[in-house]
Amino acid sequence: MHTYTQWRVLPQTARGASVAMGNFDGVHLGHRSVIERAAAAGQGAPLGVITFEPHPRAFFAPSAAPFRLMNAEARGHRLAKLGVEHLYELPFDAGLAAMSPEDFARDVLAAGLGISHVTVGADFRFGQGRKGTAETLAGYGAAYGFGVTIAPLLQIADCEVSSTAIRSALAEGRPRDAAAMLGHWHRIEGAVIHGEKRGRELGYPTANMSVAGLHLPKLGVYAVKVDVLTGPQAGSYNGAASLGVRPMFGENTPNLETFIFDFKGDLYGHHLSVAFVDYLRPELKFDGLPALMDQMQADCDRARAILEAI
């Protein structure tokens, strides 16, 4: 997959794509439906996705609580798995935010990216003040030479599939419900960073990852599947992870600590993808290290049983 971070000067090979357009936070089943429709409408044209970085919501409300389900890296990995050939991560800045819907359609989509077709969800909004709708985009497409498909919103069991509903399921400790809407396990991806190395001292060495900028699932301990994405030990493993602030040690900055079963090696600087499968328990503060270690063993035993049954 080729990724482009601007729209004004593109190679000829990046033009003419049939694209799906939206924020695609989580790349859930509704997003997948839009992408599949874009592929079908392309009639042999390369498949592309137009998205925005940073997310427009973060641009307009930079001090708001983190809400993203995945970072740009994880989104790119997921889109590549769906067969997307060209990813256009348009820089969402003051200039783009001030564009009228017609200017965006004419200057960015038609002239800049040279798209042949665009597919959007029925609730898509664009342009200054979110004045553009899917229906007005269809009119601009007719005027400026690209096709437009409007995909209906997807529902599962009479519930609309949305990033908002997925955030709620994760915040309530229901990762399997989130996965049903995502079409895949919810994952946190990123580089392994140095921590306090307390897990190593306790016999449970963990891979530590930052969760800054992300909407956090319910804090606590999870059964997880782990993909080591880079390095000599790349592969898939099972594990148990603690997402939280480590109340036992008086800390208050959330991070993700993952103990990978039956793994030996140095992961510092390598990238992991941690999939949340089941919520085991909330964060607890123990009377001492022996009680903590007993609980960690019980967590790992339970996680192994859950993951082996999948």
Question: What is residue 278's three-state secondary structure?
Answer: strand
pLDDT at 201: 58
What is the pTM (predicted TM-score) of this model? 0.89
Residue 31: name the closest of 121, 158, 144, 135 by CA.
Answer: 121
Judged on CB neighbours under 10 Å (0-12, 13-18, 19+), 10 is middle
pLDDT at 197: 60
Fold of 2-156: Rossmann fold (3.40.50)
CATH ID of 185-308, from 3.30.450.20, 3.40.1390.20, 2.40.110.10, 2.40.30.30: 2.40.30.30
pLDDT at 286: 84
Straight-line distance from the first to the last Cα atom of the chain, in angstroms, rounded to the nearest whole number: 31
Residue with more model confidence, 175 or 283: 175
Residue with more model confidence, 257 or 290: 257
Q: Indicate the domain borders of the chain.
A: 2-156, 185-308
> Does position 248 have pLDDT exceeding 60, yes or no?
no
pLDDT at 237: 97
Lowest-pLDDT choice from 30-34, 193-197, 249-253: 249-253
Question: What is residue 11's three-state secondary structure?
Answer: coil
> Does position 8 have pLDDT exceeding 60, yes or no?
yes
pLDDT bin (cut points 50, 70, 90) of residue 159 is: confident
pLDDT at 24: 96
pLDDT digits (tens, 9 = 90+) for 140-150: 999 999 999 99
> Cis before residue 54, ω within 30 degrees of 0?
yes
Q: Assess contact for 88 and 11: CB atoms under 8 A.
A: no
pLDDT at 202: 65
pLDDT bin (cut points 50, 70, 90) of residue 226 is: very high
> Does position 250 have pLDDT exceeding 60, yes or no?
no
Question: What is residue 25's three-state secondary structure?
Answer: coil
pLDDT bin (cut points 50, 70, 90) of residue 194 is: confident
H-only helix segments in 175-285: 175-182, 198-201
pLDDT digits (tens, 9 = 90+) for 81-101: 999 999 999 999 999 999 999
> Does position 59 have pLDDT exceeding 60, yes or no?
yes
pLDDT bin (cut points 50, 70, 90) of residue 299 is: very high
Residue 120: name the closest of 111, 109, 128, 112 by CA.
Answer: 109
Q: Assess contact for 41 and 21: CB atoms under 8 A.
A: no
Q: Cα-flanking dihedrals φ and ψ of residue 78, to 5°?
A: -70, -40
Residue with more model confidence, 196 or 164: 164
pLDDT at 142: 98
pLDDT at 287: 82
pLDDT at 285: 84
Sign of CA dihedral 32, 148, 103, 164: negative
